[in-house]
């Protein structure tokens, strides 16, 4: 199987992969000239969720850590940005703080789990429990006494009026078009960055730990440090996604920590394929499109119908959509080579 469709990250991307990246960037730049603001909003939220799925795909597919806690950092990123921006009346430093705070919390949480030698299944359970704690805690802050600075948390009503981002080189806050470019650019840059990161010593060791952690320890590597680094990095990426979500809707709410949202992130990765970075992106886009389409055609029980579709989909594509497609192309290529003229 080609490295672009598998977890084999040791092989550098092929030229056509770079061509794909360039074409995607060109489409991203040119799309707003042919689409209205409603389309830009719809695609922007797909980019936001794709970035969240990418954080999960990297952590699960390449570090071997199944976490239900990506929505923790997703929600922390959004809430941190909203609270800091409303308190300070500016957005640049709050943007940075909203990335650092979830990343530090991810490092702290990951430290106690990973250095505590918690098994994989219990790690997943702990992240699930922490997700529930955050959601229930935020929902219970409806009273006027729950204030951070001058910002009321408002419980399950969320925080409205999240300030739009003002870039350092501009006096005007970003518009819908700006959010479109920010979300698409962040998703593409993160995808390329993670793919190149996997070519480094850190990336190769991370994949080696996923394959055989005991062997890597016997070779003298501190596997816990590399896993903690991956966990904190994935948390920071999820935080960026949460910030973009807050900018997209100018609103944050406890639903960002929701257990349904946490499960959906896992579904995105399973559908697209966790053995590739582009798979979670495709999975998030496909599931989000299906959700929107089922809603527009008047399907009453969207969640039920979507669940049935996904069950069938997973049965047909057990490894995920893109790895399955990649496997088909690989077999066809091998068959053509085997049937070629003898030399």
What 3-state class would DSSP assign to 160? strand
Distance between CA atoms of 178 and 173, rounded to whole angstroms? 9
What pLDDT shows up at residue 193?
A: 95
User: Could you tell me the residue ranges of all domains in the chain?
Assistant: 9-257
Number of continuous H segments (helices) and E segments (strands) in the chain = 13, 4
pLDDT digits over 277-297, tens only? Answer: 998 999 899 888 888 777 776
pTM of the model: 0.91
Give the max Cα distance, the chain: 82
Residue predicted with more confidence, 39 or 316: 39
- Spatial contact of 321 and 4, defined as CB atoms under 8 Å apart: no
Split at pLDDT 50, 70, 90, the class of 7 is: very low
What are the distances in angstroms from CA 289 to CA 49, 149, 282, 293?
11, 39, 10, 6
| Average pLDDT over all residues of the chain | 87
The full 3-state SS of 290-323, as one line of letters, equals HHHHHHHCCCCCHHHHHHHHHHHHHHHCCCCHHH
pLDDT digits over 256-276, tens only? Answer: 998 888 888 988 998 888 888
Say whether pLDDT at 2 is over 50.
no
For the segment 62-86, the average pLDDT, to the nearest whole number, is 94
Contacts of 73 (CB under 8 A, 6+ apart): 55, 102, 103, 105, 106, 234, 235, 236, 238, 239, 242
Split at pLDDT 50, 70, 90, the class of 96 is: very high
Say whether pLDDT at 322 is over 80.
no
What pLDDT shows up at residue 300?
A: 62
* Strand ranges inside the chain, DSSP E: 147-148, 151-152, 159-160, 251-252
For the segment 85-100, the average pLDDT, to the nearest whole number, is 93
Say whether pLDDT at 343 is over 50.
no
Say whether pLDDT at 24 is over 60.
yes
Burial (CB < 10 A; 0-12, 13-18, 19+), residue 242, is buried
Could you tell me what percent of the chain has a pLDDT over 70?
Answer: 92
Residue 89 DSSP class: S
């Amino acid at each position: 199987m080609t490295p672009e469709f598998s977890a084999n990250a040791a092989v550098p991307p092929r030229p056509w992969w770079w061509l794909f990246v360039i074409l995607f960037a060109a489409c991203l730049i040119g799309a707003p000239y042919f689409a209205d603001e409603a389309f830009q909003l719809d695609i922007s939220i797909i980019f936001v969720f794709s970035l969240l799925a990418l954080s999960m795909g990297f952590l699960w597919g390449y570090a071997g850590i199944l976490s239900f806690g990506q929505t923790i950092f997703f929600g922390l990123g959004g809430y941190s940005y909203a609270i800091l921006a409303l308190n300070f009346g500016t957005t640049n430093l709050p943007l940075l703080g909203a990335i650092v705070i979830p990343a530090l919390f991810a490092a702290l949480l990951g430290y106690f789990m990973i250095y505590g030698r918690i098994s994989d299944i219990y790690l997943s359970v702990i992240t699930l429990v922490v997700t529930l704690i955050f959601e229930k805690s935020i929902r219970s802050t409806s009273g006027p006494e729950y204030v951070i600075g001058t910002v009321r948390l408002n419980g399950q009503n969320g925080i409205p009026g999240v300030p739009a981002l003002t870039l350092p080189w501009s006096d005007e806050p970003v518009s819908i078009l700006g959010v479109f470019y920010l979300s698409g650019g962040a998703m593409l840059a993160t995808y390329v960055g993670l793919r190149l990161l996997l070519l480094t010593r850190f990336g190769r060791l991370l994949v080696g730990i996923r394959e055989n952690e005991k062997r890597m320890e016997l070779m003298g590597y501190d596997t816990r440090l590399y896993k903690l680094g991956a966990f904190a990095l994935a948390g920071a990426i999820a935080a960026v996604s949460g910030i973009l979500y807050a900018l997209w809707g100018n609103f944050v709410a406890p639903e960002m920590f929701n257990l349904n949202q946490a499960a959906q992130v896992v579904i995105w990765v399973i559908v697209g394929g966790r053995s590739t970075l582009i798979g979670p992106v495709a999975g998030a886009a496909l599931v989000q499109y299906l959700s929107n389409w089922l809603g527009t055609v008047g399907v009453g029980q969207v969640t039920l119908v979507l669940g049935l579709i996904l069950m069938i989909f997973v049965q047909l594509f057990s490894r995920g959509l893109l790895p399955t497609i990649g496997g088909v192309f690989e077999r066809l290529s091998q068959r053509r080579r085997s049937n070629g003229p003898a030399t």
